[in-house]
């Protein structure tokens, strides 16, 4: 179809059974370039029947892929890795066009996702079992790990490539088949990755993409052939995913929201802390589950630290992510309105607006017939208290709130009483303080002078409390265990010279 302003608006598709499949539900949503406001694509929203067809394709492909040798599976993974390395800039540009994050940030997202692909290339080692010979007289015992079957991966808008890459390389390496349901705001990265898998030689039906909304999600959560669900998103949705899918007998790892704190002690290097607070608070326009949104200044350093952060925030250039800006737009107009509403509420509640992103100027050109992109500039609020919505809620925007406390114990108590437990950071030059902090704080991922402590792929990602529903974190060893089931095999080859009947309970001797 063609819009009245001239540019061609693409109609996207699903990817099922190794090929693109047109949508037939007659329901569509719009994909928008958040830097210009232009509608760039129509996205078909799958019906329950279309979603079930993707599950059927994954189910049909599972037996052959499960029985494919680890050597062959790993060869496909290595080819996928090389193709992704060669074409990473193409994927980054696609992310910027739909999400809005600046190109360097998008490239970093792809690189972090690639780390999981590289980890998954070690599947022959990761999937090894163990063996004990002669555990009992003439009895050997060994363990093996086997794939689950078709698994669903439901991913958010903020990392269109990295978050799916947290999950599907390990699921595929382990011998599972996959149905990805990406965010309808940023669908093209998942479809691009599907084409890359096909080019790498992945058999048809092993990797499928269903675009849609709650209809597709609920079908995946309740379908009897889906064995497990991986999810990243908001806490209310994570809770729904976990409750619904587990009720239907599925494994679930559902990573929810966050309110990440950065504690700065008086002995910290304040220039370094200010740099990192800006990086972690305003990178990707704050649309990260690991973004720092609450900075706790301990002791008498707050005035100096706030001034240093404000100087840096005012110098940031916000605009179109393709123009070498520091920060891009928010993903939708609704997100823009939501964030500015929180800034309004914080100001009305008594917070001091030190840097106001509502009044910033932006380097971007609006598309004809639109109100332009969805921008909010870096915003710094001081004298925030724990009863303000800018503190209690996950804003998911470029808003950094400063809370002031007198002592280290007050800072830890503030973090531990928060309902979220995703990530936190401590800035200090004291090893003793750092060691105490990592022991006492009730959070899943901790940085010491590292503001965004996202683990390497061979460690696992995930938080505590209302930031995680289910027992298993993403990637690393926990990811391998999530996508496999253990079996223990006990074997005896009887000596034909020893026979007889013994109805007693078997003993190990």
In angstroms, the CA 482 to CA 145 distance is 11
Q: Helix %, strand %, coil % for the chain, to 5? A: 40, 25, 40
Contact 292, 280 (CB under 8 A): yes
Sign of CA dihedral 298, 301, 303, 304: negative
Decide if 121 is catalytic: no
Which structure tokens are listed for 300? 């008498």
Q: Give CA–CA dist 373/332, Å, rounded.
A: 8
The tokens for 488 are 């223990």
Torsion angles phi and psi, residue 41, rounded to 5: -160, 155
CA-to-CA separations, 175 to 170, 196, 253, 315, 334, in angstroms, rounded: 9, 18, 18, 49, 40
Enumerate residues 6+ apart whose C-beta is below 8 A from 104: none
- 3-class DSSP string for 237-298: HHHHHHHHHHHCCCEEEEECCCCEEEEECCCCCHHHHHHHHHHHHHHHHHCCCCCEEEEEEE
Half-sphere CA count of 232, side-chain side, radius 13 A: 27
* CA angle in degrees (0–180, nearest 5) for 185-186-188: 135
Catalytic one of 254, 289, 325, 411 = 289
The residues annotated as belonging to the active site are: 289
């Amino acid at each position: 179809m063609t819009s009245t302003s001239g540019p061609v608006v693409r109609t996207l598709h699903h990817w099922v059974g190794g090929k693109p499949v047109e949508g037939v539900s007659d329901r569509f949503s719009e994909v928008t370039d958040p830097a210009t406001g232009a509608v760039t694509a129509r996205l078909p929203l799958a019906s329950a029947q279309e979603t079930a067809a993707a599950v059927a394709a994954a189910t049909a492909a599972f037996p052959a892929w499960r029985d494919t040798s680890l050597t062959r599976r790993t060869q496909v993974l290595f080819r996928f890795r090389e193709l992704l390395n060669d074409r990473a800039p193409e994927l980054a540009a696609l992310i910027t066009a739909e999400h809005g994050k600046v190109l360097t940030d998008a490239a970093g997202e792809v690189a972090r996702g690639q780390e999981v692909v590289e980890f998954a290339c070690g599947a022959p080692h990761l999937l090894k079992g163990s063996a004990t010979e002669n555990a009992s007289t003439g009895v050997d015992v060994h363990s093996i790990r086997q794939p689950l079957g078709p698994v669903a991966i439901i991913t958010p808008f903020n990392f269109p490539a990295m978050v799916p890459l947290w999950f599907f390389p390990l699921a595929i390496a382990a011998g599972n088949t996959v149905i990805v349901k990406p965010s309808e705001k940023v669908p093209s990265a998942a479809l691009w990755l599907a084409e890359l898998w096909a080019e790498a030689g992945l058999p048809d039906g092993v990797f499928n993409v269903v675009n849609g909304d709650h209809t597709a999600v609920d079908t995946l959560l309740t379908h009897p052939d889906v064995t497990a669900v991986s999810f990243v998103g908001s806490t209310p949705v994570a809770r729904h995913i976990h409750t619904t899918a587990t009720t239907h007998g599925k494994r679930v790892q559902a990573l929810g929201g966050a309110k990440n704190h950065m504690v700065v002690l008086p002995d910290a290097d304040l220039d370094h802390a200010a740099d990192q607070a800006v990086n972690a608070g305003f990178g990707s326009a704050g649309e990260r589950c690991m973004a720092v949104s609450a900075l706790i200044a301990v002791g008498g350093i707050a005035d100096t630290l706030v001034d240093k952060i404000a100087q840096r925030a005012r110098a940031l250039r916000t605009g179109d992510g393709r123009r070498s800006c520091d920060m891009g737009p928010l993903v939708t107009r609704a997100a823009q309105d939501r964030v500015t509403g929180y800034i309004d509420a914080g100001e009305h509640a008594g917070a001091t607006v030190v840097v106001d992103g509502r009044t910033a100027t932006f380097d971007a050109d609006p598309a004809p017939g639109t109100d332009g992109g969805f921008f909010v500039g870096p915003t710094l609020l001081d004298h925030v208290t724990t009863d303000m919505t800018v503190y209690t809620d996950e804003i998911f925007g470029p808003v950094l709130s400063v809370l002031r406390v007198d002592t280290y114990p007050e800072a830890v108590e503030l973090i531990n009483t928060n309902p979220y437990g995703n990530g936190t950071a401590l800035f200090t030059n004291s090893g003793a303080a750092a060691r105490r902090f990592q022991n006492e704080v009730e959070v899943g991922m901790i940085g010491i002078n590292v503001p965004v402590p996202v683990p390497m792929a061979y460690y696992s990602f995930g938080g505590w409390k209302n930031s995680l529903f289910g027992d298993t974190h993403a990637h690393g060893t926990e990811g391998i265990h999530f996508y496999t089931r253990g079996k223990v095999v006990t074997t005896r080859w009887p000596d034909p010279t020893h026979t007889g009947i013994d109805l007693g309970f078997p003993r190990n001797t």
